[in-house]
Structure 1
Amino acid sequence: MSGAARLDVTAHLEALRRYARVLTRNGSEADDLVQGALLRALEKRASFRDGADLRVWLMSILHNHHIDRLRSTSAATARETAWADLAPGFAPPAGEHAVRLEQLRAAVLTLPEDQREALHLVAIEGLSVAEAADVLSVPPGTVMSRVGRARAALRRWEDGGTARLSSIRLVGGADDAT
């Protein structure tokens, strides 16, 4: 088997993670970045030249993957901001409910994208965890984790706000007793 067909990256994992941590300043994001870079390296293994420095090649892929993610995030943020600024395409409810729904909408929009997506699919669209996992192309446990973190963030927001979310039940999970 040629060097391009079999790349032993295990010796370089710690260096990749350290570099990813410097780029992202976040452990879980660094792990995601390394995983994505290793996937790209696997897909592009035929482009690795025998005799080249594997560590440098992997670091280059990691760096380029990071830049691609930054660009993608920037574009997604711009799209989300534009969407959030649009007036709703429905008649707003009257009174307290209108204010409460706007507060909840703003709180949901502050969630990280991955949590917001998972929460929307499970709580709003009513998909099962398995169905949401298929839509997002992630394991069901990841969907459950993202929904759990989103719910916890909304509870923290609720505790810090003047109004309670007790009248709003997120589908697919038990609400705290109040």
Structure 2
Amino acid sequence: MRLADVNMERRRELPESRRPITQQLVLELLNDAVWAPNHRLREPWRFIFVEQGSMGGLPDRSATTSARLIVVMNEEADPFKQREDFAAVCCLIQNVRLLAWERGLAVERTMPEWIYDGELGRSFGVRDAERIVAVLELGDADTPQRAAETAPGRLRFDLL
């Protein structure tokens, strides 16, 4: 299968999940996904695995999600390192999505409003020198309910 086909196919809404997503499966995905580019081989990420139904009063799309992975990043004082680390975390998230799709899983990257609430983040184990980058919702990918309406990308080049 071509990578371009995978990228278009995975843009579907998460279907109702029928199988549990285990911590072990997520660890296997992460062990491959951490090969994301980062200067000086820093690994600025950390992950918090949240099983279905364990969102503590937050909106839980349990019909479509088997588990969540809260992706946390170290806060750096140096703005250059901060931007570089954020880019590496985004690459890692894309790696997770592609590796999961290969195993028949869908991963939806979400950025719910609550990720900016420091107190709520601490209740999930986010430390003071960290911030939540995204929440990955994991579920089955084999029978999507409906395809997302996505227009083909339009590229624009400015000539110098």
Q: TM-score, normalised by structure 1?
A: 0.24
Structure 1 or 2: larger helix share?
A: 1
CA radius of gyration, larger in = 1
Q: TM-score, normalised by structure 2?
A: 0.26
Structure 1 or 2: larger strand share?
A: 2
